Amino acid sequence: MAKEIFYSKTKINNRDYLIASTNLGLAFVGCQNGNMNELNSFFKHDKLGYNDELNKQYIKELREYLEGIRTTFDMQLDVSGTEFQKQVWDQLREIPYGRLSSYSEIANKINRPKAVRAVGTAIGRNPVSIIVPCHRVLAKNGTLGGYRGGLAMKQELLNLEKEVSEHVTV
């Protein structure tokens, strides 16, 4: 059944971002300087409409994160995926800010230790990157692995979290 998806474009740190939501929560965060093709690839059969007002709070939290002010998100999500994908995405949300995990660790935590490749595929289909922090997942050997937004974006997000973590006093 087709959903109604409301998208907005915003500029943060000289980069354009597309985000989209439903009446139930955030449904999509695009890559840096992404375009409508990326959004359409996630919502092929849904009705798209522009709505900055509905997305105002989501944009605010994303901006705060990318500016190093926010380390967690309070927003409601409305993501579509298989049960397996949702298990993976839920596990990603358990990775603390500034920390890293691996594809095999995620597979183990969802009790599917042999499903490392499937975990990687599910991570690649994460519709709300940054908010569900797939950038915090590295290959077992410590290399970056892949990232829907490209490795430069992944490294930039990891650097942001490292810099913010180094300046936080407890």
d(CA 88, CA 147): 15
Q: What is the pLDDT of residue 167?
A: 54
Q: Of 35, 66, 97, which residue is a domain's last?
A: 66
Residue 76 located in a structural domain: no
d(CA 109, CA 129): 20
Same domain, residue pair 57 and 9: yes
Residue 93 is classified by DSSP as: T
Helical packing angle, 116-124 and 83-92, nearest 10°? 80
Q: What is the pLDDT of residue 142?
A: 87
**Would you say residue 6 has pLDDT above 90?**
yes
Q: Considering only CA atoms, which of 52, 14, 54, 49 is closest in space to residue 32?
A: 14
Yes or no: say if 106 and 137 are a contact pair by the CB < 8 Å rule.
yes
**Would you say residue 32 has pLDDT above 60?**
yes
Place of tokens 């407890």: 170
Number of domains in the chain: 2
Is-catalytic flag, 134? yes
Catalytic residue among 20, 29, 134, 157: 134
Residue 78 located in a structural domain: no
d(CA 32, CA 54): 21
Task: Provide the whole-model pTM.
Answer: 0.92
CATH classification at residue 123 = 1.10.10.10
Domain range holding 40? 4-66
Residue 96 is classified by DSSP as: P
Residue 71 located in a structural domain: no
